[in-house]
Structure 1
Amino acid sequence: MHLDHAPSHGGPAAVSADVRRPDGSRRALRIGLGGPVGSGKTATVAALCRALRDEVSLAVVTNDIYTREDAEFLRREAVLPPERITAVETGACPHTAIRDDISANLEAVEELEDGVGPLDLILVESGGDNLTATFSRGLVDAQIFVIDVAGGDDIPRKGGPGVTTADLLVVNKTDLAPYVGADLGRMAADARTQRACLPVVFQSLRDGAGVTDVAGWVRGRLAAWTA
């Protein structure tokens, strides 16, 4: 277990420490998924697993405060073999285990690589948190932040570190926009203002819109990692 990773919030080019494993091999790329409660993080992880599992060797770490419910959901959905899905019970606000004291997540990541490796990709899903939630760059190499239209179409305008600095922003549940009065055009414009050149994907897991784009973004990060 590594305990000496200092949290930082570098830009997209930043990578976490320990790029090599103890045996000298390149470790898996780690991508974190954060966002508010109910935004669709676990469903997005499931969709990514289905899209990528035949192409790359991957595994998942989920974070919940007192349960392992997200990991159990992924196992029930059979998105990966059960031994490739593990859970961390944070016992406190979710951001503490992904940004402040990342030791439990690092241990989970390393145990997966030891147990089912070699791995190309590990997805680390945060428990539901607020717009300030970000991952330590000592834990992940890139961050996806997931919001949903039902949470209000003013979320991109409100900003916060998750919205403004994540390497990819996913606006989820776009199929609900007509039912909750969300203006997708306004959300897109506000996201562009807040994020400058950082990418944004509008996604509906119900009809599949955007899922291919998110998976394509992950493939791009993997290609850069292994080049």
Structure 2
Amino acid sequence: MHYHDSLLDQHLSSAAAIRPDGSRRALRVGLGGPVGSGKTASVAELCRAFRDRYSLAVVTNDIYTREDAEFLLREAVLPAERITAVETGACPHTAIRDDISANLEAIEHLEETLPPLDLVLVESGGDNLTATFSKGLVDVQIFVIDVSSGDDIPRKGGPGITTADLLIINKTDLAPHVGADLDTMAADAEKQRGDLPVIFTSLTADAGIREVADWVTAQLAEWHAKAAV
């Protein structure tokens, strides 16, 4: 059996909170969404919110570059050894949903070389409304859209909008400038998602990431409780 295959077998179900050696595995949170929606900025703000509270790391995905990882490194949101990049070389769907082995290797390396991790953020390369993460790669997934793409985006649906554990509607500060109706977006998102949560954000505000950070903190609490059973 190839290394990729054995690694994939270990992670086919991301529900297991305990690693094969008996240690607790980090919670893996995927962030996907269209190009320019604010995924990398959201990751940066989550790192700033959590870096003094939890042991965390980041895996970014770009097609041919390490641009997102380099942005996080320039912003010094985490020490360099806690940020790694996957160059997918193809459609971002492939690396987060179809052939997830490169991302699994990156996560495994972080967990083996760093002190016990509480959280790994996995950022997808920019894609469209159909992008979703494999359940074998992440435990929960966040989908990020923004108001500048049009207030009809939630109404258009797609797996990212309808099934993600959390939908972020970002850049609310731009709504008056682009003619976006936030109430319409909220109503359409509720129709598409039912009881699944939606958070409106403006990362230019001082507390712009707070609600998202609170949501992730709740997921971490559930994860730690699960590992303790």
Q: Aligning the two structures, in what range does the TM-score lie when normalised by the shorter sequence?
A: over 0.9
Instruction: Give the superposition deviation at 1:5.
Output: 7.1
What is the CA–CA distance in structure 2 between the aligned matches of 1:210 and 1:163, rounded to whole Å?
Answer: 21
What is the CA–CA distance in structure 1 between the aligned matches of 2:207 and 2:153, rounded to whole Å?
Answer: 20
Match of 1:79 in 2: 77
Instruction: Within 5 Å, give how 1:1-227 maps onto structure 2.
Output: 1=4, 2-4=7-9, 16-208=14-206, 210-227=208-225
- 3-state SS of 1:4 partner: helix
Kindly provide the CA deviation profile for residues 21-48 of structure 1, in whole angstroms up to 9, marking residues without a partner as x.
2321011000000000000000000000
- Contact in 2 for aligned 1:5/1:17 (Cα 8 Å): no
What is the CA–CA distance in structure 2 between the aligned matches of 1:194 and 1:205, rounded to whole Å?
Answer: 24
What is the CA–CA distance in structure 1 between the aligned matches of 2:180 and 2:130, rounded to whole Å?
Answer: 22
What is the CA–CA distance in structure 1 between the aligned matches of 2:178 and 2:209, rounded to whole Å?
Answer: 22
Kindly provide the CA deviation profile for residues 115-145 of structure 1, in whole angstroms up to 9, marking residues without a partner as x.
1131000000000000000000000000000
- Contact in 2 for aligned 1:202/1:209 (Cα 8 Å): no
- Contact in 2 for aligned 1:205/1:211 (Cα 8 Å): yes
Unmatched tracts of structure 2, length 5 or more: none
What is the CA–CA distance in structure 2 between the aligned matches of 1:5 and 1:167, rounded to whole Å?
Answer: 23
- Contact in 2 for aligned 1:46/1:74 (Cα 8 Å): yes
- Contact in 1 for aligned 2:147/2:172 (Cα 8 Å): yes
Instruction: Give the superposition deviation at 1:207.
Output: 1.4
Query: TM-score under structure 1 normalisation?
Result: 0.94
What is the CA–CA distance in structure 1 between the aligned matches of 2:11 and 2:107, rounded to whole Å?
Answer: 17
- 3-state SS of 2:9 partner: coil
Query: TM-score under structure 2 normalisation?
Result: 0.93
What is the CA–CA distance in structure 1 between the aligned matches of 2:115 and 2:32, rounded to whole Å?
Answer: 24
Give the aligned residue type for 2:200. Answer: F
Instruction: Give the superposition deviation at 1:20.
Output: 2.2
Instruction: Give the superposition deviation at 1:17.
Output: 5.0
Give the aligned residue type for 1:4. Answer: D
- Contact in 1 for aligned 2:17/2:223 (Cα 8 Å): no
